[in-house]
Structure 1
């Protein structure tokens, strides 16, 4: 399954908010440097969908706030 993700780095708390069927807003505490926010996004998505972090892959948007993420369910 592919989903669209809007990332909010440096947030006060980690949260996953569903905007519509294929779009999620994810807030992470990590800063957007050295891939730390991307790692936090992968972990948050994995917890939300109850899958292993290795089942979540960023397909597009490695350096931006808008990402396309593939989740293997």
Structure 2
């Protein structure tokens, strides 16, 4: 399954996944430096969907706050 998520790096709320009308918002504590926030997004989405973190992969938007993510179930 592929979905588009909006990421809020450096958030005190994180790690948290909220469902909004226009998609998912992922709050992570990690800053957007050296891929730390991307790893946090993968872990947060894996926990939200109940899959292993290795089954979550960012397909597009590695340097953007809007990302396209693929989850293997």
Which category describes the TM-score, using the shorter chain as reference length? over 0.9
Which ranges in structure 2 are unaligned for 5 or more consecutive residues? none
Which ranges in structure 1 are unaligned for 5 or more consecutive residues? none
Specify the alignment match of 1:19 in structure 2: 20
**Cα distance, 1:70 vs structure 2:** 0.2
**Cα distance, 1:13 vs structure 2:** 2.2
Q: Deviations over 1:21-63 (max 9, x none)?
A: x821000000000000000000000000000001000000000
Report the Cα distance in structure 1 between the residues aligned to 2:30 and 2:55, rounded to whole angstroms. Answer: 21
Specify the alignment match of 2:54 in structure 1: 54
Report the Cα distance in structure 1 between the residues aligned to 2:13 and 2:23, rounded to whole angstroms. Answer: 19
Report the Cα distance in structure 2 between the residues aligned to 1:54 and 1:11, rounded to whole angstroms. Answer: 23
User: TM-score normalized by structure 1?
Assistant: 0.94
**Cα distance, 1:18 vs structure 2:** 1.0
User: TM-score normalized by structure 2?
Assistant: 0.94
Give the aligned CA root-mean-square deviation in angstroms: 1.1
